[in-house]
Chain A
């Protein structure tokens, strides 16, 4: 079955420490993967997409097809990075339509 797995519900780090939020996926085709972020009292918004190979707010994510992973990384966490992070996969699912499915989310807490 197609799914997105984020194994950590909460990741707690100190400011300046490296951060890695894990995401694994299961999909039979060629996946398109994204990270979305929700800051406190704000809307859910796109952080980055693998196809763009971009770095946003110091975050990067590399698609590893061999390990079916798309982990989100940042070398030095900042307090303003504290938020809920969702990994998402877009693909063709049953019914013939493209859909975006999300993982359960990981809450990142960066302490001073």
Chain B
């Protein structure tokens, strides 16, 4: 059973703080993704990675960066948190091609920036 684990379920941070969101998957998947989920906007892709040390910008990368030093771990970094980054963050992983494959999601990390 694929497991995607996001270490922090709820975080409260102050404006300007550096925030790390960690995601680990245990199925040796090559592909990993970070989305943010907002009511009325659905899921928007922030960054993705198809291999270790590889990263590509998604649709809304501004204000975020990522790190993939190991295959199983994909970290999302907010260098200087702002209130408009208050959101639910979802990590996902998959194997093979996205065109027929399935994304496996974590439970989400709800971030509040004050």
Contacts and interface: CB of A to CB of B under 8 A. Distances in A.
Interface of A: 4, 6, 9, 32, 36, 43-46, 49, 51, 86, 90-91, 95, 97-105
A45 B105 contact: yes
A2 to B, nearest CB: 10
Interface of B: 4, 33, 35, 40-45, 48, 50, 56-59, 90, 92, 97-100, 102-103, 105-108
A97 B48 contact: yes
A99 B58 contact: yes
B50 A32 contact: no
Contacts, number: 54
A6 B39 CA distance: 13
A102 B107 CA distance: 17
A104 B39 CA distance: 8
Contacts of A44: 43, 90, 92, 105
B105 A98 contact: no
Contacts of B99: 32, 90-91, 98
B102 A46 contact: yes
